Structures are given as structure tokens and as C-alpha cells.
Amino acid sequence: MNKIWAFPLALAFFACNSGEKNQKMEIKDYPETAKVDTVDTYFGTDVPDPYRWLEDDRSEQTAEWVKAQNEVTFGYLNNIPFRDKIEERLTELWNYAKESAPRKHGDYYYTYKNDGLQNQWVVYRKKGLDGAESVFLDPNTFSEDATTSLAGTFFTKDGSLLAYSISEGGSDWRKVIVMNAEDKSIVEDTIRNVKFSGVSWKGNEGFFYSSYDKPEGSELSAKTQEHKLYYHKLNTPQSEDELIFGGSETPRRYIGGYVSDDEKFLFISASVSTSGNELYVKDLSDWSNPIVPIAEGFESEHSVLDNDGDRLLIETNLNAPNKRLVEVDANDPSTENYKDVIPETENVLNVSTAGGYIFANYMVDVKTEIHQFDYEGNKVRQVELPGIGSAGGFGAEKDDEKLYYSFTSFTYPSAIFEYDIEKGTSELYWKPEIDFNSEDYETEQVFYESKDGTKVPMFITYKKGMEKNGKNPTELYAYGGFNVSLRPSFSVARLVWLEEGGIYAQPNLRGGGEYGEEWHKAGTKMQKQNVFDDFIAAAEYLIAEGYTSSDKLAISGGSNGGLLVGATMTQRPDLMQVAFPAVGVMDMLRYHTFTAGAGWAYDYGTSEDSKEMFEYLKGYSPVHNVKAGVKYPATMVTTADHDDRVVPAHSFKFAAELQEKHASESPVLIRIETNAGHGAGKPTDKIIDGIADKYSFAWYNMGVVPMDEEM
């Protein structure tokens, strides 16, 4: 692959320096992206891939292309007149104290806190709830630029040892460090090459974790295939860690191991995709005991909630698309012996335990209901929540008398409540002090009709007094995949948009988990178009009802939601003024060849499955559906150079196609974050920068002038 270069050509910026207030900037030339003659053949059909070279994240040519694109992008963004004011207001709003619910480990209560603008949250602890608080672990000291983040904390049952994982530059690859919790001394050498894994302790002797063999080639883009569950004995070399499950004999893409609370059993979950798993159990009373299957095959999902001796409580969607809680004897644990403890209902169930009780978190039209049960499945009460919204965190040890849960909604900043488990009463434990008056805003939930007649719910939030005159800037955000549910939640970043008269709309598309596995499956494989149709119908509803209009509508989504935006804007470029596809899956013919992408096949199918599946994927794949001469919306593609979940080549190729072919004067930019990944662990300053760029780009291209600025 020779003579492939990206040349930054001239940009012509008008208006900002010309004194003509109403004339927008125009990008006269984009960096030139070289083409290659790569062609793939699928079932007799040739498919060119002219930007294949951008998949090489280690090449000098790709690095030069990234640099050239960022020069154009930030040159444009930095010349938006009101961009700095947006960042200033975001910073003001963001600068408030935040904290998590406390969790008890040993003699200490641990809490995550951020005093306002710290790049990474800090772990504090105190002896007893009334003890003196001190810093326990400060991830802001992990690296000079704060791009190394704390990815997880895992204590032994007695709280004396902690294994914590770190992520460098946002990568999914982790390092695990073990420390003595009392004096914070490091116990042993770092465990490396851990990925998609927690840490589960067996006493204080050692722990289970999962990883892949380091791939050949780039660790940020090369395919990872066989997950392995290891046991690490403390103070021994990682090279001596024992393989427990996985590898060539039992190849699985995702494997997790977790020890029961009484440390009697090891439970192993194994899967080949993001949906459905096998479940195994091993009696740890004798290391030579075999691994025994509980549930085999990948058609359903199973996870152990808890055990009472040999009685296992398992959450499953086997023969229950909305899930149920069952029990089975560990001595004869096949699925044929499952017995209902909490049967399936019409609402999706998730369960947790605290204080010797089971808490059932039901999703009722995407809103939370909590019901408390005893271990025999007898209902004790429905928990009274502070309002309509999302609650979570109903977990604690069996002997705890209280638990701490969070509650939030679109106009309710996340607060923490203390719940008396026996009495069933809640008291406010902590709430943020933020420059926000919830009485100034309102949220409504509507149900609109999609293309095939399916009713789809959508939340719409806006400032009170909003007129349905079709002139309101609107952000339409969704996900629609992988059984993920978008619940009501508060976002300080969103406040800037709302207080300037913007509308935020969040539909719950098929492909998500809001109505159980049937809702999920209705947006997978050969039914994936339903997801795009649901999103398009949401936009059409907002326009028809006068909330907004096409020239005031921005669509956004990340990861699978980035695919959603890419597919929607290529199918209906007339529908929106602005598009924000973030870290998106854009090349649907090759996504499964990178990192863990093959695990997404349950939702997507692959181009190798069949001629029919190939043609279906090609029919909506964003990279393959950009057409010459079409006027596409103002677009800012966003990705990161260390994203090893959805590799940046997806976004690179999509941006290159758009820049070459679109016929509109609207800009097509790609914003490439450096030393960052898919999103987790991103420093606060980078988050604020990204949001300021997003909102200023949207308003500028809608012709909206916020904050009394002139344009």
C-alpha cells in the first residue's frame, strides 16, 4: 500500500472575520483522502472498499489523515462565534459536587465523589457512617493528563484486600492492581491483559478474572476471539495462573466467573454473542470438583442472583421474555428443574438482594417500579419512590439493615436515598446543589406510531411555556439495540440545550430492552430496519406535532446509536438539519472482523451468513449508502483514536465517503479525540469540550444564535 497520503487543502472561512454577521462559514476544500482498488466479493457481488487503508491504525498515512481532518474540524469549531460562551456555561453548570451511594466493605464505607470539575472521580472512605472521611484512591494521580481511569473496584468479603482495574487512554484492555485496603500498600505485581472482566475473590487467597490472548497486529483493532477464565493465586506470577474455563477446548467469546457470597460456589457464564449464555457451577469446597452445567445453549439468558446453601436463585428469560426468578438445587441444577420464585409479568424484571430480601425492579413503560419480596417469593411491599423516573442500586449485604439507592429523571438531578429494609421507609441521604430549577421544565411521554403501526414510547423534555410553532431546536437521541433500555435520567450537559429553548426527545426504539426480549428481537438481524423506521417516525411525529421542523432538528446517537444516525441520515437526508453519529458501527460488511465485533452478530447478523443477510446489511450499511449528488445534513462524526470497542476506521470511512460525495454546502466534519476510547473514563475537561463543540455546531448550522450572541 504505497503512495497513500491525505493532503490538507485550503479552507475558506467566511463571516467570522468578514463582518457579515449572517453569512456562515464555508469549508471550501476537505483533506484529500486517497483511494485504493480493494474489492471484496460476497456471494458473487463485488463491493469496492476504496478507503480500506484507513483501517490500519498504526500507519503513518492514517495518522497524517487524522491530523489533517482535525485541523479542518477544530478550525471550523473554534471560529463559531458563541462556542466559547457555551463552554463557559457548561463549565459553570458542571461545577457542582457529585457523589455515589456508599457501600460497606469491612469496617469502612466507600463513596465515589467529584468536587465539580475533577477529571476523574475520587474514592473516599470512612469508618462507620459518622467517621472522619479521607481520600482512599485518587485516579487523577494515575496519569498527568488524567486519561488513565479507574475501571472497577473489587474487595474481598472481609474488605481487607482490594483489586482495582485501570484503563489507559480509554482502552477496553485493563490492568489489575492489588492493594492492602488498610494501609494502601501494593501487594503484588500488576495483572495485565485483562479485558471484559470483573474480579471475583476466593477468600483472600486469590481471584478469578477473564481475558484474551493478546492479538497479533494492533491490539486496538485486531480481532479477539477466545475469552479465558483464569484463577490467580496471590503473590504468584501471572504466567502461572490456572486456566479454569475457555480456550481451544471450550471456545467462547465472553466468559465471566463469580464466586457466591458464602464463597461455596463458582458460577461461570459463557456466551458467543451479546445475547444468550450458558451457565455452569463448580463447588469450591474441593478444588477437584467438576464444572457442572446448569443451562446449556445460547438461546436464553441466565444469571445467579444468590444462593441459600444449595438452593440457587437464578434470573432468566428462559420461556419468559420479560424474565422471571427461579430456584434450582445445586446438586441437580438443570433447567428442567427450574421452579418459579417470582413469575414473569407483563413488565421487564431485574432483581437484586439486600438485607435478606429480594428487590424486583420492574420497568413499566420505561419507568421504574420497585417491589420487595422475601426469599420465598412472597411480596412484602411496593417501595414508594420519590417520583416517576429511574431508580437503581437496591443492593446490600445480607446482614445490612439499610441500603442506599439513587433516583433520577429528566428534570430530577440524581439523588441518593437511605432505605430502611425492614420498615420500608426512605429518607433523602444526599442531593446535589446545582444551578437548576426543575419547576422551569417539564417532561411528557407520548406514544407515536411507527411505519408498521407499532406504538413506540418517547419522552420529550422542554422549558415550560414552549410553543409548538415548529421553530424549536430539537435533539432527537436514541439507541435501539442490544437489549439496552434508555431510561429517564438527568444530564447537566443537556441543561445548556434546554435553558436556551431547546427540546430533548428520547424515543425507546425496538432493538432495546424496554419491553423485554420480544421488543429486542424485533430490531435485530432481518428486522433491523424497524429500528430506523421507529427513529424516522419519531422525527416525523415531532415535526407533525409542531415541536420542531426539519431545519431545526438534530439527530444523535453513539455506538449502535451511531449506526442508527448513519443509517437514518443516508435513508432520509431531508429529515434533519444536523447529524451526530458518534463512535458508530458504520461498515456493516466488515464490523465482525475487528476486536470483539463478531460478538454483535446476534443483533446484526454478518455478511458471511448468507446472500440474503449480506444484501440486507449492505442495504443499510452507512458506509455503503452514501450517494453522490445528495444533500446530506450538516454532520459531525465523532470517534477516538483508542476506541477498541468500535474501531475508528468505521467513522473514518464514513466521513471520507460523505466528504467526497455530498452535494450540500453544509459541513461534514470528523472530530477525532486523541488518547481516548469508546467513552468510559473520559476526563471531565474532554467531555465538556466535546459537548461545547456539539451544541455550538448544531445551533450554528440551524441558524440559531444562543446566549444573546451575534453571528
Q: 373 by DSSP, 3-state: which?
A: strand
pLDDT digits (tens, 9 = 90+) for 575-589: 999 999 999 999 999
For 11, what's the count of Cα atoms within 13 Å in the CB-facing half-sphere? 23
Element (H, E) at 656: helix 649-661
Please check whether residue 221 is in contact with residue 647, taking contact to mean a CB–CB distance below 8 angstroms: yes
What is the rounded CA–CA span in Å between residue 342 and residue 348? 12
Res. 4: pLDDT tops 90: no
Catalytic (active site) residue 105: no
Q: Which of 553-567, 598-612, 636-650, 654-668 has the lowest mean pLDDT?
A: 636-650
Element (H, E) at 412: strand 412-420
Res. 326: pLDDT tops 70: yes
Residue 17: per-residue pLDDT: 38
% of residues, the chain, pLDDT over 90: 83
Q: Which of 159-163, 192-196, 295-299, 459-463 has the lowest mean pLDDT?
A: 192-196
Residue 170: per-residue pLDDT: 75
Residue 218: per-residue pLDDT: 57
Using only C-alpha atoms, the chain has a radius of gyration, in whole angstroms, of: 26
The 265-271 sheet, strands edge to edge: 254-259, 265-271, 278-283, 291-295
Res. 224: pLDDT tops 70: no
How many Cβ atoms from other residues are within 10 Å of residue 492's Cβ? 19
Cell numbers at 226, concatenated: 477466545
To the nearest 10°, report the CA torsion of 377, 379, 380, 383.
120
Band (pLDDT 50/70/90 cuts) for residue 214 is confident
For 72, what's the count of Cα atoms within 13 Å in the CB-facing half-sphere? 28
Please check whether residue 340 is in contact with residue 326, taking contact to mean a CB–CB distance below 8 angstroms: yes
Please check whether residue 688 is in contact with residue 71, taking contact to mean a CB–CB distance below 8 angstroms: no
Give just the sign of the alpha carbon dihedral 186, 188, 190, 196.
Answer: negative
Q: Which of 7-11, 480-484, 601-605 has the lowest mean pLDDT?
A: 7-11
Calculate mean pLDDT across residues 615-635.
98
Residue 87: per-residue pLDDT: 96
Res. 9: pLDDT tops 70: no
Give the active site residue among 426, 559, 621, 651: 559
Residue 673: per-residue pLDDT: 85
Residue 680: per-residue pLDDT: 61
Cell numbers at 180, concatenated: 492492602
* Residue whose C-alpha cell is 505485581: 189
Band (pLDDT 50/70/90 cuts) for residue 8 is very low
* Residue whose C-alpha cell is 429494609: 421
Catalytic (active site) residue 678: yes
Let me know the angle formed at the C-alpha of 596 by 592 and 597, rounded to the nearest 5 degrees: 25
pLDDT digits (tens, 9 = 90+) for 63-81: 999 999 999 999 999 999 9
% of residues, the chain, pLDDT over 70: 93
Amino acid 173 reads: W
Res. 22: pLDDT tops 60: no
Q: Where are the beta strands (DSSP E) in 545-617?
A: 553-558, 578-582
Res. 283: pLDDT tops 60: yes
Selection from 415, 308, 428, 283 nearest residue 358 by Cα? 308
Summary mean pLDDT of the chain: 92
Please check whether residue 361 is in contact with residue 350, taking contact to mean a CB–CB distance below 8 angstroms: yes
Calculate mean pLDDT across residues 479-485.
97
pLDDT digits (tens, 9 = 90+) for 433-456: 998 899 999 999 999 999 999 999
Give the active site residue among 197, 211, 678, 696: 678
pLDDT digits (tens, 9 = 90+) for 353-379: 999 999 999 999 999 999 999 999 999
Res. 345: pLDDT tops 90: yes
User: How far does the chain reach from its first CA to its final CA, in angstroms?
Assistant: 45
Count the helix, strand and coil residues of the chain and give each as a percent rounded to the nearest 5. Answer: 20, 35, 45
Burial 315-333 (b: 16+ CB within 10 A, else e): bbbbebbbbbbbbbebeeb
Res. 217: pLDDT tops 90: no
Residue 711: per-residue pLDDT: 46
Give just the sign of the alpha carbon dihedral 601, 607, 610, 616.
Answer: positive
Amino acid 255 reads: I
Element (H, E) at 481: none
Q: Which residues contact 39 (CB under 8 A, 6 or more apart)?
A: 46, 47, 48, 49
Q: Which residues contact 485 (CB under 8 A, 6 or more apart)?
A: 348, 363, 366, 508, 512, 513, 514
pLDDT digits (tens, 9 = 90+) for 259-279: 999 999 999 999 988 889 999
Q: Which residues contact 350 (CB under 8 A, 6 or more apart)?
A: 315, 323, 360, 361, 363
What is the rounded CA–CA span in Å between residue 281 and residue 334? 11
Cell numbers at 161, concatenated: 484486600
Please check whether residue 562 is in contact with residue 640, taking contact to mean a CB–CB distance below 8 angstroms: no
Selection from 388, 398, 268 nearest residue 333 by Cα? 268
Band (pLDDT 50/70/90 cuts) for residue 484 is very high
Res. 253: pLDDT tops 60: yes
Task: Provide the whole-model pTM.
Answer: 0.92
Res. 13: pLDDT tops 80: no
